[in-house]
Amino acid sequence: MAMEGRPLADNVFTWPGADPALIGGVDGRGRIRFPFMGRPGERPVELARQGTLWSWTVQRFLPKQPPYLGRETKADFQPFALGYVELPGQVRVETRLVDCVPEDLRIGMPMRLTIRPLFRDEQGCDLLMYAFRPVA
């Protein structure tokens, strides 16, 4: 069954689709950035869907809102793993890490892009975020 919803922001990942990809930007010198910002001379490029865990930590306190868009309160906040995934030959992406136990995370382990609901908006639509999960 396909997941329904809409991305939290435009031009961050391809959606809908069976195999979504993050959207980076490449400039005239071949440098890749994430996310795609639409700067003059920059063109969009799909980024690798798999990479390696470069660094990680556990977010143990409710992030400042804004810029964080989650709907948790201090009372119901649950810590989550957060890290950088290196996409080979492209960029390092800051991301939430899902489907894992932080104690099992290891630098260099293979990770794969996934799309997850972050919260449901007032109209009942799931707002989707990207995350990375360990490759089984």
Does residue 1 belong to any structural domain of this protein?
no
Q: Which residues contact 134 (CB under 8 A, 6 or more apart)?
A: 97, 99, 100, 104, 105, 109, 110, 111, 112
Q: Is residue 120 part of a domain?
A: yes
Domain count, the chain: 1
- Structural domain of residue 103, as residue ranges? 6-134
Question: How far is the C-alpha of 119 from the C-alpha of 113, rounded, in Å?
Answer: 19
Q: Is residue 67 part of a domain?
A: yes
Q: CB 49: neighbour CB atoms within 10 A? A: 15
Does 40 map to a domain? Answer: yes
In this prediction, residue 67 carries a pLDDT of 63
Residue 74 has what pLDDT?
Answer: 82
pLDDT at 4: 83
Q: Is residue 10 part of a domain?
A: yes
Tens place of pLDDT for every residue, the chain, 136 residues?
Answer: 457 889 988 999 999 888 999 999 999 999 999 999 999 999 999 999 999 999 999 998 888 776 666 777 888 888 999 999 999 999 999 999 999 999 999 999 999 999 999 888 888 888 899 999 999 8
Q: What is the pLDDT of residue 2?
A: 59
Whether residue 74 is contained in a domain is answered as yes
